[in-house]
Structure 1
Amino acid sequence: MNLHALKLFLAVTKAGSVTQASQALCISQPAVTAQIKKFEKDLGVRLFKQKGRGIALTDVGEGLAEQARRLFALEEQMEDWISDYKQAKKGKLRIAATYLPANFLMPEWVAAFKTENKDAELVVTTTNSSEAFKQLIGYKADLAVYGGGLEDRPEDVDWEVLFEDELWFVVARAHRFANKELTLAEMMTEPFVMREKGSTTRERLFALCKTFNVRDPQIALQFNGLHEAIRAVMTGYGALFISSLVARDYVQSGHLARVKVQGPQLMNKFVICTRKDETPSPLTAAFVKKIRKASS
């Protein structure tokens, strides 16, 4: 079906006459009449009938006009949706975030973005670093937000560092190491409470010990969640290697105490990750712009 002719037909039905339709469309009356006749011929049905000095729709014309109104209303909706998508007002954004940004940064970022983009759908998955990269590279996520080191950076991922923070050794406030200054070897005599394998902080502690030729940390307790690990250390057992972003409030409140380890100072980098050589969607670009501003 010729959609241009269908639009012309609908314009005539709305105007009530060929003359008024031709004036509204800035097309000559003979041209409108010729196109309507051709449209009827192509369809094999009469759409208009004479009614006094004017015209009226036939039964099939009435039915076609109703269907045409629905079709072009849907077309307008589609155009509006595309416009909203381009302005980052519509669409779905899937974010894979590692534990630190997911728990300590993403809630504020997502809430602020949703305030300005109410109809955008955001789905945040909290996972470890290897799975976050796997989801991004495998097109199961549009964006990854990562907190850790840059040692295992995948080649097919673009990185943008937002900011960085220190990694601290912490213990309970009554622990014998609380507020002391030790060597890394002395620190490794204490059992550690850690998250599961795949945790960036855990892997970085092992790498640190290897770099300085110090015995590996003894993992005495393992939890899948960081808060559980913190609670265990707060009871007085073991030590924790943790981002200052997480530990700072606990240290300031006196629930945990720092142990200053001589020499090594590791930093956590908080990074936006996207697929290399790929133009992000408008929604992804708008969210990245928002968190850049929040991190500056």
Structure 2
Amino acid sequence: MNLHALRLFHTIAATGNVTRAAEQLNISQPAITVQIKKLEKELRLQLLQPMGRGITLTAAGKDIASMAARLFAVEQQIEQFCEQYEQGTTGQITLAATYLPSHFLLPGWLSRFKRQYEDVELTIHTTNSADALHMLTHVQVDLAIYGGVPERVNEWIDMEELFRDELWFVVAPDHPFADRHISLAEMMQQSFVMREQGSSTRERLLSLCRTYNLPAPRITLQFNGLHEAIEAVIAGYGANFVSSVIVRERVKRGELCRVYVDDVQLYNTIAVCTRSQEPLSAAARHFIELVREHPF
């Protein structure tokens, strides 16, 4: 179907007059008439009929005009959607986040973002560090918010550091090491409550032992979530090696205590990861800009 001719007919139906339609479209009246005749021939329907000095729509013309109005209304909606998508005010963002940013940082980021970009749909996958990077490299998510420092980063991933926080050893208040300064060798003799394999913090602890040529810690209790691991330590079992962002308030309230390990000061990196050489949608760029401006 000749959509240009249909648009001319739509304008005639909307204005009720060929002359006014010609003026509105800046096309000569004879040119419009020729196009309408071709459209009628193509559709095998008469769309217009004489009425006095003017024209009117036939019964078929009225039905076609109604459908054309809906068609061009949808066209306008598509154009508006594309403009909004380009501006980042609509669209979708799918992201993977490791447990630390997902539980302690994303709620604030997402709330601030949605207040500004209400029509952008967000889907969040909370997972461990290894799986977050796997999802990113396999194009299952648009970006990943990563807490920790991976030993190896895929060459296809760009990692932008947002900020750093300290990694702390923590125990229950009645633990013999609570608020004490001890050696790393002494600390590694304790039972640890940690996250599952694939957790970046767990890998940092193991790497620390390798660096100082110490036996790997005894991880005698393992959870798939941060909250459960912390609660077990608060309940009085074992020690945990964890980002200060997670436990700082609990330490202030006296629910947990730090253990100060001499000559060991490690930091946790919070980063946003994207695929190298791949452009982001405008909505995803807006989200990253917001996180840069309000990292915590």
Q: TM-score, normalised by structure 2?
A: 0.97
CA distance in 1, matches of 2:146, 2:200: 10
Matching residue of 1:172: 172
Equivalent residue letter for 2:7: K
Matching residue of 1:274: 274
Residues 98 and 127 of structure 1 are in contact (CA less than 8 Å); yes or no, is this contact kept in structure 2? yes
Post-superposition CA distance 1:26-53 (Å, at most 9, x none): 2222222222222223333221111111
CA apart distance, 1:235? 2.1
Matching residue of 1:30: 30
Cα-Cα RMSD: 1.2
CA apart distance, 1:196? 1.0
Matching residue of 2:233: 233
CA distance in 1, matches of 2:191, 2:150: 26
Pair 1:201-2:231 in alignment: no
CA apart distance, 1:25? 1.6
Residues 150 and 200 of structure 2 are in contact (CA less than 8 Å); yes or no, is this contact kept in structure 1? no
CA apart distance, 1:79? 1.0
Q: TM-score, normalised by structure 1?
A: 0.97
Residues 150 and 269 of structure 1 are in contact (CA less than 8 Å); yes or no, is this contact kept in structure 2? no
Moved more, 105-114 or 13-22: 13-22
CA distance in 2, matches of 1:234, 1:46: 82
Q: What SS does the corresponding residue of 2:198 show, helix, strand or coil?
A: coil
CA distance in 2, matches of 1:150, 1:128: 12
Matching residue of 1:217: 217
Matching residue of 1:55: 55
Q: What SS does the corresponding residue of 1:295 show, helix, strand or coil?
A: coil
Query: When the two structures are aligned, how many residues end up with a matched partner?
Result: 296
Q: What SS does the corresponding residue of 1:221 show, helix, strand or coil?
A: strand
- Pairs within 5 Å for 1:95-244: 95-244=95-244
Equivalent residue letter for 1:92: Q
Matching residue of 1:263: 263
Matching residue of 2:68: 68
Unpaired segments ≥5 residues, structure 2: none
CA distance in 1, matches of 2:187, 2:196: 20
- Pairs within 5 Å for 1:75-94: 75-94=75-94
Post-superposition CA distance 1:6-36 (Å, at most 9, x none): 1001111111111111122222222222222
Equivalent residue letter for 1:256: L
Structure 1 runs (4+) greater than 4 angstroms displaced: none
